[in-house]
Amino acid sequence: MRIDRTLLPDAVLAVAVAAASVALFVLYGPEPPAAGLRAPDAAGVTLVLLACVPVALRRRWPVAGLCAALAPETLLSALGYGTGVAGLAGLVMLYSVASYRGLALALGALLLAGALYLVGALAGPAAGMGVSDHLMAVVVLVAVWGAGRSLRLRRAYLAELQDRAARLERAHAADTRAARAEERSRIARELHDVVAHHVSVMTVQASAAGKVLASDPELAREALAAIEHTGRMAMAEMRNIVGVLRADARAELGPQPGTGDLPALVAQMREAGLLTRLTVEGSAGAIPAGVDLAAYRLVQEGLTNTLRHAGAGARALVTVRHLPDELDVSVSDDGRGTGLNGQGAAAAGQGAAQGGQGAGRPAGGPPGHGLVGIRERVALYGGILSVGPRPGGGFEVRARFPLKDGR
Helix (H, G, I), strand (E, B) or coil at 316: strand
3-state DSSP call for residue 320? Answer: strand
- 33 domain residue, yes or no: yes
Q: What CATH number is attached to the domain comprising 325? A: 3.30.565.10
How many domains does one find in the chain? 2
Q: Specify whether 264 is located in the same domain as 404.
A: yes
Residue 90 covered by a domain: yes
Burial degree of 335 (CB within 10 A; 0-12, 13-18, 19+): buried
DSSP strands (E only) in 298-381: 315-323, 326-333
Question: Judging by DSSP bridges, how do beta strands 275-281 and 315-323 pair with one another?
Answer: parallel
Domain holding 318, by residue range, is 258-407
Name the domain boundary from 129, 162, 185. Answer: 129
* 263 and 401 fall within a common domain: yes
Walk along the chain (407 residues) and give the pLDDT tens digit of each residue.
Answer: 455 677 888 888 888 888 888 888 777 665 554 555 677 778 888 888 888 888 888 888 888 888 888 888 877 777 777 655 457 888 888 888 999 888 888 898 888 888 877 776 666 555 555 677 678 878 888 898 999 899 999 988 999 999 999 999 998 888 888 877 776 777 677 777 777 777 777 887 787 778 777 888 888 888 788 788 778 777 777 776 666 555 454 544 556 788 888 999 998 888 888 899 999 998 877 888 888 888 998 998 889 888 888 877 889 999 999 998 899 999 999 887 543 333 333 333 333 333 333 344 443 344 455 677 788 888 888 899 999 898 878 899 999 999 875 44
Among 103, 129, 155, residue at a domain's last position: 129
Q: Does residue 27 sit in helix, strand or coil?
A: helix
* pTM check: above 0.85: no
Closest CA to 126 of 85, 87, 80: 80
| Structural domain ending residue among the three candidates 88, 109, 129 | 129
